[in-house]
A = this chain, B = another copy of it.
Amino acid sequence: MRQSKLVTTTRKEISKEEASINAQLLTRGGYVERLMAGVYSYLPLGVRVLTKIENIIREEMSAIGSEEVLMPAIQPKEIWETTGRWNSVDVMFKLKGAGDRDLCLGPSHEEVVTPLVGCFINSYRTLPRSVFQLQTKFRNEARAKSGILRGREFRMKDMYSFHASVADLDAYYDLTTTAYTNVFKRVGLGDRTYKTYAGGGIFTKYSHEFQTVTPFGEDIIHVCKSCAVAINREIIEDLAGKCPVCGLTNLVEEKAIEVGNIFKLMTRFSDACGLSYQDDQGKPQQIFMGCYGIGSSRLMGAVVEILHDEKGIIWPEVIAPFKLHLIALTRTGEEVAKADSLYEALRKRNVEVLYDDRGSVGAGEKFADSDLIGIPTRVIMSARTIAQNAVEVKSRNKKDGTNIGLDEFLTSVSS
């Protein structure tokens, strides 16, 4: 992509209401733009990052046998009355549809998915089942001041599983834990994201969150360094300050951002919706469910909160909007032609490259923009490097670059 054609530019001045680091950097970099508190547009660079994050989540959920569906945001009051939750979800947007019908924008999808998958469950042979969606969710948060970390409209992966026994649910819950760990590793947050014990509600002892440690987190967790798990502050007293895995008490208090959660619903929704399956004796049996969430837009915000410096964002390569940022510091027509031909050579090799071909912008401004946008590798072509038939390659997270011969460079990025 030629940067001269890109819809967005970076910006120095942004709204003072953007207090969070993620919103500041993403807005200045041209990734997102706020429409109102908690409601953002994703600009071309932002769509590229969000799509890559969602594809990683899609791959990991598919790998554990979950099938992708897409459920509606608009939901009728009746299904929420069936489960007794119409008046119990305080962030629910309610609205009126044609014929004065009471509707809501689903803050989650248990009420839809349970009868939906239930249509197709009859004998024990049709279990287990798991479905997930990547969908836009709506929650009428009283306050929304954390950029894309806590939105009134946001992107979320929610997955729901259906099982013939608690043991089967338990096994899938563990499988999902591994899949979640893979997701957080792949987007660059693996080393500071902890499976965190949290309250379990009526039916189970615990649920689990995935919490990413950062000084800017809204949550407080207690990390057990020897087990690499954590405990949410909400239940630490119930546990008498002990790690539920090893029993040790030397836990470290940290601030953290919740990037995912998994929960055993047991028969809460399958019973309310009248679901059952026939066992191998033909007898009806209860169905055990789990639900598993990752906010994909929140995850994008969490990456920015953690992977940045004073100059801008530092994307991990797999979710960066482009793999390379080619910066032309060219003046003569001949130099421009050299940079153009490198850009074309990269495109021909299917390398994702943002090409700063802007003629009217100086080197200092190009470097500042590049640092802010945060593409992991910067490639400079200038009169100096052209004289050496080379480019200067610099990692976003390193101070100095290295000159590399043009052919060697092209070989290295193609492999």
- Cβ-based interface call for A94 (8 A): yes
Per-position contact with B for A38-82: 1 when CB-CB < 8 Å, else 0? 011111101100100000000000000101111111111001000
Q: Is A97 an interface residue (CB 8 A)?
A: yes
In the complex the two chains form, what is the Cα distance from A142 to B36 in whole Å?
Answer: 29
The smallest beta-carbon distance between A71 and chain B, in angstroms, is 5
> Is the pair B72, A117 in contact by a Cβ cutoff of 8 Å?
no
Whether B39 lies near A98 (C-beta < 8 A) is no
Residues of B within 8 A of A112 (CB): 35, 41
Interface residue A194 (Cβ < 8 Å from any Cβ of B)? no
When chains A and B are docked, how far (Å) is the Cα of A75 from the Cα of B47? 19
A138 and B44 contact, CB distance less than 8 A: no
Q: What is the minimal beta-carbon distance from A58 to any residue of chain B, in angstroms?
A: 10
- Complex CA gap A116/B73 in Å reads 25
User: What is the chain B residue whose CB lies nearest that of A134?
Assistant: B47
Chain B residues whose CB sits within 8 angstroms of the CB of A140 once the complex forms:
97-98
- Once the chains are docked, how many angstroms separate the CA of A74 from the CA of B105? 11
By beta carbon, the residue of chain B nearest A35 is: B72
Asked if A44 meets B72 with Cβ closer than 8 Å, knowing A7-B129, A140-B97, the reply is: no
**In the bound complex, do residue B41 and residue A152 qualify as a contact, i.e. CB atoms below 8 Å apart?**
no
Given A47-B70, A73-B153, A97-B140, does the pair A41, B7 have CB atoms closer than 8 Å? no
Kindly state whether residue A141 has any CB partner on chain B within 8 Å: yes
| Pairwise interchain contact A97-B152, C-beta atoms closer than 8 A | yes
Q: List residues of A (125-158) whose CB comes within 8 Å of B's CBs.
A: 129, 131, 136, 138, 140-144, 152-153
Report A264 CB to chain B, min CB distance, Å: 20
A19 on interface, CB distance cutoff 8 Å: no
Q: Please give, as numbers and ranges, the residues of chain B lying within 8 Å of A345 by CB-CB distance.
A: none
Task: Name the B residues within 8 Å of A47 (CB-CB).
Answer: 68-70
**A362 CB, min distance to chain B CBs, angstroms:** 16
Q: Is the CB of B36 within 8 A of A76?
A: yes
Which of A8, A11, A74 has the largest count of B CB atoms less than 10 A from its CB?
A74
B74 touches A50 (CB 8 A): no
Residue pairs across A and B with Cβ atoms less than 8 A apart, 9 shown, are A7-B131, A30-B120, A36-B74, A39-B74, A41-B116, A43-B116, A73-B138, A74-B152, A98-B144
A: residues with CB less than 8 A from B are 5-9, 11, 30, 33, 35-36, 39-44, 46-47, 50, 65, 67-76, 79, 93-95, 97-98, 105, 112, 116-117, 119-120, 129, 131, 136, 138, 140-144, 152-153
Known contacts A35-B74, A44-B131, A98-B140; can you find 13 more A-B pairs with CB under 8 A? A7-B117, A7-B131, A30-B120, A36-B74, A41-B71, A42-B70, A50-B70, A73-B153, A93-B97, A95-B95, A97-B140, A98-B144, A136-B136
